[in-house]
Structure 1
């Protein structure tokens, strides 16, 4: 029996011995709890409580215990009524109680003496404050997801409006950029209906794109989540898809963005006649969506379906000078190669969901999603890239998910959930791509072929989870397990690229005068990737204990195991022959919620949270393993190197001795999973029936964080910079390298630490008077002692390979101030004139504001001060701390205005709308010039000191944000 089989069997036996399984780590349901009393406050035992979903008829029958308490967990989201009957008391029904994903609503009912004929019915939502919760969370409602401005058509951008999170929205279908999640970079566990939607290779990547046509609500939790949640030390982002109901409902929508609706991109000069003039891009969008849901059998079977087709055009102009164009055409480059690159993205989404109330004890749903993205001229398009250098992009995803909730009895429930997402994305040679090799003439043009085709990322993640809820008195126990198997294949680009210093050098090679007049030739050698499998396994147990009516405790423990793939037996590095699997990932957690008086809740929680292993921790060593014959090498040769080819030939039988000394990856043999330990305290105060204010403090300390360092260089004896950094030789030998078979070794190491402190305020106005508002302000400070490794945006090496702590400083995502607000306002006015009432009432104004301190920036020098080849570009001048500079503040308000033209046939509502991002057209810059000029000649002063005129200019260089964009739309709701 394999080690994995033994581990899983032992875990299963452990589960069975605890008498029940535990709740799965991605809850998408909610809870209603409360106490039944008489008018004097005395509890009423054995009262019959009926909880009913008004939308689809789903019903749960309960009985209050000896203290009058009842609890209904695992309720599908929707609007409910709670009805109570007891002998000698008048029946009481409260309707309009909203249950959201992860919500825990308290609905107390006070019965009056009376008979059945004196039934009391009230319509009221649950209390504004959820007194039983201890986490820091937010639910983005369907009123927000369907009305807030979203020019990107990307629901993942809503994560920026979770209290305590900051970052930048993505203008297309990817993840938001540079997110601060508990002081860590991009730590997000993305889910769809509580099922896997997180790409496993790097931190914070979603697995597949989603559409807001099937985004109903979003559950976000950024701190202090209970043991049933895991696989991240940052944020849970759970998108809930709509379900059908007893009422037929849906919408059809078209969005159009013409070229004139886009302002000149930030940092671009669109004024004709300017020396750096570039024409306004021909940005345009056509987007068609449709959604419909309803009953198949009333109260039993329901359907929902959605479809979106997006066309986003962004043609890229070629900027080769007329003189160079003429010379290249004369040399045989076709005129058609200089045409504007027709970059047009075409994406499609589909969602199909079936919900079934099987019987009184079982309810289930099954869902299928499809995503397709075709993107010609995705890479190497425009500028100095001719059409023959381009690469196309294609992305496909198929997702199947299902859930079954079984109520064995009111105090014993089971929830099973399983999914099978599959994604395949790749760059490939397009119709215009040349046959190769790729030719690069520095500062002139790139053409002939591409260096960006052949890469592929394919991932299948079959997963399941099961949990049992057992209610006993004031205790609600949960036990459960979860398993996912990550099947990954990654391939790298395959190409040959010749680089020439001048156009004349290229012409000499092209005409056979000097076939080695190139500066260098780069080519991939051997196998271009690796396939591997990893397994993530979890167990948890927790108890939510209603100690008193005012005090609730949640405590428990979670165990995570992240199993590594097999190593490479013939790898030259021992670390790659076998990967260590941490076995001690136990994470205890506890939370208290105390309500000293009506409308006030004090929360205190703490615990440990493990981060799932980014599987590139294994892929990089398997792929870049140090063997020259396994396809992990991108080799660059000079024209005089033995075996260097004549242009335009590729490598052919190059002696190993002529290849550069390899620089492989390795994963530390002492590998452990990173974790955080958190403390979170909050005070939430209801301000009336529909308003609440929360003030909280969060402390998060990261431990065993991954970082990258060069583990192969030996310090030069007696050599050091003035600030103590050791120096290293560029010569590879037994005296300069621990392993002289390699130049550098890119070690994925662990042990970095981080510290995050935040004060968070959050004001919420629940829908009333046509207004929904959520505003949050966070003051925070994030410190770490190393740049983070294996994140999407930031995988830099430490500046001193021998001393990680020399990089202690502000985190890459340290933003001291962050403010967000989301507002949806649809007022209703009543005048004597029906016309005036309709004119004033059928308007919807939605506003998003994202404002924060600028991004932290690292002051660096363009010189290799200490001789470490891996940290070039990240080495700082003498006595300069990490991330001490900052870009200007970011302020981006987005607006959407919708006009409804009345209601026809009792349900049809035609609408038009206009939406804008960055409505003030502010130049929000996310990168500045931070390169300093330093002394390199010791005769001129201390090596590494900034010269008298060498301070960084701090001039803006780039941004991930957009200038103002307008979109226009028409919609019919029914």
Structure 2
């Protein structure tokens, strides 16, 4: 079935469900709820009262009637400031104002009605309780004030993930992907925008679309206590919620800049090289407001960023070697750095339309373009220093269009439909001034020549397209809020690798001999990829859930249900000589029961106990299957590796047009999926106790446990031990291939993905939350944690992983150790300070209209593997650990980092100017 027909079928199905009391539902990923009890002065419930919930930003209203217990509940509400009003004959009208609803929040607003005339109005102002009695999950919402005012030099809101407890890793300095690790997992994050998927499916840790401040109103983070509607991760859900227009016309424009005088000198830069330029220029503009008051609204945002990224791209080629090699001033510029830069454009357009009282529609379009010339690393093939000759321009374009329709069928039945199409296309071309011809590596000295040394160099092309349909249906019945829903994602992938050409020389003299024609075959070897480098495939992800949010009593709430995930992975490419390539197993047994509760322990709602437990499934990484398709023993491409004496070996700098005459296809090493490969999952549990010390200050302590099962491990299942062992017991294998050394001697190595890994994560957390009052808002958290597993995966499949292959393919227990991002102590403090002096005079002039935003992080160092940089037991892994050294036993130093943003506000009537300065890593 084609993607177009598939999408049409899903849209038709979803529309039919939306109009005919559907059976399934998603949830309030981008909306919120308001619920509570209406009582009289004696504490007795008030049934039959009319409760009107009004969004004071947009005029949106919802009217409800309290049930026999005096209970009301409004779900799928837009975000913003609200007013709740209760009316009943014989009682004074009561209004509650002054609180703001955030994404995923259930605001508990209880009302007490006094006897009197309905025309008499009693108004009470104030936020919902700081110890949230409606919350079950372990997470936080980073509100609009924090998004706008916390220091964020990178302009990358994904870096805010590190403000959440149980999260380790490191930030991204530009608009790339930070290395986010939650609950001890490696990069397992479910990225979302407005509740729609924003997760790239091929490798762990990748988001599909980047984010910018102009497209993010607030961020919802969840790491535990997931309701059944959330899934497809064993780590974190990161949901970026886009802004919307309101009845007030509001806009902004800004300019930010950075110059090299504002940055420290790179640590490894040669003392004689000038300090590299680190300039950055950033322009933003936003505008939102009403099209028709109380009915239709618009929002638009644009951002343009230009950055110099050369500061950490120091060229490590020695001047004397560069001179002997005859490298040009283009290949080795006088600046001493690779002239890497980046130009980025964001655009977001959004509209919200109240079609009728029972139907609301929202639509958005998002566009991103990244042009990054000379986007290469400092080191090239074999760890030799790169030169500018190897420069490739990275082109990255992403866009998405999405819509949401909320419909009500009476006061107690609501449906939400979401649709999305998202795509990413990235490619690499040779940079201006890059080298030509084949790539050349002089071992340990320099890499130069044409930028075609690796499969990801010039000529690389990748695209991923996702069609998504979600639908939910909610039924409110007494104390129950039933929800049921589905999420279908159709994923289309295409990849084209570069047909690389690489000469490797042992010394400068050997290269010069080939260059001047004295010995055109003085190279160590020549490698060229030949064949069809393209692959295309598709997959489908399906999720179903049903849940009940039950208010057992005014102080005890339970949420329970079950989720089902089905991941239809790409089809196999069978090859008769490889039985494992005949088909890929589709695991159909992914049922995930979950339950949690929130218990308010006192009548003043100051102490709340929360606990939850449930199963979370992790989607299989599509790159597993891509590699199994590509490397099934019948390769579409072959690497011709020629020694100087090989038949048909080219004379430098010639390349091959086809496989050389008499070329014998080398014995293949294959990648396979285990016939019983099952979906990875965790049993995730937590308990949290929160105590409100004041109306705006709370402290919580908690415990988190994660038990990982079916974790994927790449195991060479073709090796037969020789009977000899290393001193630490690791078996020694043979590089010779025969029936005595290989299970199937038709292949050399058979790297098989098996779901046999296990992991454990335990953490204690302490969180202090200070809601904005008296000019101060802050949140601090400390996590004491330990994560262990026996399932190492390399950076080929987990972005940023420094893990290695198994050290012993016969015994995975030998690789049990702390996880790659295990951090024993993690502390983070963030906040805003806005001093305000009510009296006039010098003090008011100096202190008012100032703001300080800050983020402070302190943590123990991350672990790393100590490597021997050789294959000790001849299993094909060339970076074995030394004898007696366990996995991830090295430890980096402690880290302390403080970022700050100072703002001086300058009011001009209805317009407010801001002069601000941001600084990163102050100390």
The answer to whether TM tops 0.5 is yes
For 1:511 and 1:659, how far apart are their aligned partners in 2? 32
For 1:569 and 1:201, how far apart are their aligned partners in 2? 21
Secondary structure, in 3 states, of the residue corresponding to 1:338?
coil
Secondary structure, in 3 states, of the residue corresponding to 2:761?
strand
Q: CA deviation at 1:711?
A: 1.7
Query: Structure 2 residue aligned with 1:904, among 881, 904, 908?
Result: 908
For 2:814 and 2:725, how far apart are their aligned partners in 1? 14
Closer, same or farther: CA 703–521 of 1 in aligned 2, 3 Å: same
Look up the match of 1:158. Answer: 160
For 1:317 and 1:755, how far apart are their aligned partners in 2? 40
Residue 314 of structure 2 is aligned to residue 311 of structure 1: no
**Is contact 1:705-1:788 (8 Å) kept?**
no
Look up the match of 1:890. Answer: 895
Secondary structure, in 3 states, of the residue corresponding to 2:510?
helix
Q: Which piece of structure 1 moves more, 739-748 or 156-165? A: 739-748
**Is contact 1:397-1:422 (8 Å) kept?**
yes
Closer, same or farther: CA 302–838 of 1 in aligned 2, 3 Å: farther
Q: Which piece of structure 1 moves more, 858-867 or 99-108? A: 858-867
Look up the match of 1:466. Answer: 471
Closer, same or farther: CA 571–421 of 1 in aligned 2, 3 Å: farther
Q: CA deviation at 1:206?
A: 0.6
Per-residue CA deviations over 1:693-725 (Å, capped at 9, x if unaligned) read: 111111100000011121221111x21223322
Look up the match of 1:342. Answer: 339
Q: CA deviation at 1:646?
A: 1.9
Secondary structure, in 3 states, of the residue corresponding to 1:144?
helix
For 1:826 and 1:583, how far apart are their aligned partners in 2? 54
- 1:368-767 aligned at under 5 Å gives the runs 368-379=365-376, 384-450=385-451, 451=453, 452-570=457-575, 572-597=577-602, 598=604, 599-628=606-635, 630-631=636-637, 633-651=638-656, 652-654=658-660, 658-716=664-722, 718-767=723-772
Look up the match of 1:281. Answer: 276
Q: CA deviation at 1:466?
A: 0.2
Per-residue CA deviations over 1:844-869 (Å, capped at 9, x if unaligned) read: 00110121110112223233221111
- 1:755-794 aligned at under 5 Å gives the runs 755-788=760-793, 790-794=797-801
Look up the match of 2:863. Answer: 856
**Is contact 2:530-2:659 (8 Å) kept?**
no
Look up the match of 1:925. Answer: none
Q: CA deviation at 1:279?
A: 4.2
For 1:116 and 1:473, how far apart are their aligned partners in 2? 26
For 1:8 and 1:248, how far apart are their aligned partners in 2? 37
For 2:130 and 2:187, how far apart are their aligned partners in 1? 31
Query: Structure 1 residue aligned with 2:920, among 917, 920, 926?
Result: 917
For 1:876 and 1:40, how far apart are their aligned partners in 2? 72
Q: Which piece of structure 1 moves more, 356-365 or 584-593? A: 356-365
Secondary structure, in 3 states, of the residue corresponding to 1:98?
strand
For 1:287 and 1:8, how far apart are their aligned partners in 2? 40
**Is contact 1:381-1:387 (8 Å) kept?**
no
Q: CA deviation at 1:320?
A: 4.0
For 1:635 and 1:190, how far apart are their aligned partners in 2? 40
Q: CA deviation at 1:180?
A: 3.0
Residue 822 of structure 2 is aligned to residue 825 of structure 1: no
Secondary structure, in 3 states, of the residue corresponding to 2:743?
coil
Q: CA deviation at 1:326?
A: 3.7
Q: CA deviation at 1:620?
A: 1.2
Secondary structure, in 3 states, of the residue corresponding to 2:694?
coil
**Is contact 1:453-1:494 (8 Å) kept?**
no
Look up the match of 1:839. Answer: 846
Secondary structure, in 3 states, of the residue corresponding to 1:518?
coil
Look up the match of 1:205. Answer: 206
**Is contact 1:138-1:163 (8 Å) kept?**
no
Q: CA deviation at 1:26?
A: 6.7
**Is contact 2:575-2:632 (8 Å) kept?**
no
Equivalenced residue count is 898
**Is contact 1:26-1:229 (8 Å) kept?**
no
Closer, same or farther: CA 672–335 of 1 in aligned 2, 3 Å: same
Secondary structure, in 3 states, of the residue corresponding to 1:617?
helix
Secondary structure, in 3 states, of the residue corresponding to 1:308?
strand
Q: CA deviation at 1:659?
A: 4.5
Residue 369 of structure 2 is aligned to residue 353 of structure 1: no
Secondary structure, in 3 states, of the residue corresponding to 2:512?
helix
Look up the match of 1:114. Answer: 116
Per-residue CA deviations over 1:769-818 (Å, capped at 9, x if unaligned) read: 12111111111110111213621122631111111111111111211110
**Is contact 1:175-1:206 (8 Å) kept?**
yes
Q: CA deviation at 1:116?
A: 2.5
Secondary structure, in 3 states, of the residue corresponding to 1:185?
coil
TM-score by length of 2: 0.94
For 1:822 and 1:42, how far apart are their aligned partners in 2? 42
Q: CA deviation at 1:657?
A: 5.3
Per-residue CA deviations over 1:510-550 (Å, capped at 9, x if unaligned) read: 23222211011111121213111000001000000001111
Q: CA deviation at 1:571?
A: 6.4
Closer, same or farther: CA 207–572 of 1 in aligned 2, 3 Å: farther
Secondary structure, in 3 states, of the residue corresponding to 2:641?
strand
Look up the match of 2:289. Answer: 294
**Is contact 1:572-1:625 (8 Å) kept?**
no
Residue segments in structure 2 that go unaligned for 5+ positions in a row? none
Residue 176 of structure 2 is aligned to residue 192 of structure 1: no
Secondary structure, in 3 states, of the residue corresponding to 1:622?
helix
Q: Which piece of structure 1 moves more, 880-889 or 19-28? A: 19-28
Per-residue CA deviations over 1:459-496 (Å, capped at 9, x if unaligned) read: 00010100000000000000101100110112222221
Per-residue CA deviations over 1:360-407 (Å, capped at 9, x if unaligned) read: 111121000100000111125699434332111100011111111111
For 1:889 and 1:381, how far apart are their aligned partners in 2? 25
Closer, same or farther: CA 337–806 of 1 in aligned 2, 3 Å: closer
Look up the match of 2:268. Answer: 268
Q: Which piece of structure 1 moves more, 183-192 or 506-515? A: 506-515
For 1:19 and 1:368, how far apart are their aligned partners in 2? 29
Look up the match of 2:151. Answer: 149
For 1:256 and 1:454, how far apart are their aligned partners in 2? 34
Q: CA deviation at 1:641?
A: 2.3
Closer, same or farther: CA 461–828 of 1 in aligned 2, 3 Å: same
Per-residue CA deviations over 1:808-851 (Å, capped at 9, x if unaligned) read: 11111211110111111111112232x64233111100110121
For 2:488 and 2:891, how far apart are their aligned partners in 1? 42
Look up the match of 1:957. Answer: none
Closer, same or farther: CA 655–226 of 1 in aligned 2, 3 Å: farther
For 1:471 and 1:648, how far apart are their aligned partners in 2? 74
Secondary structure, in 3 states, of the residue corresponding to 2:553?
coil
Q: CA deviation at 1:8?
A: 9.9
For 1:898 and 1:656, how far apart are their aligned partners in 2? 71
Q: CA deviation at 1:444?
A: 3.5
Per-residue CA deviations over 1:165-202 (Å, capped at 9, x if unaligned) read: 1221111111222x331111111000111111100011
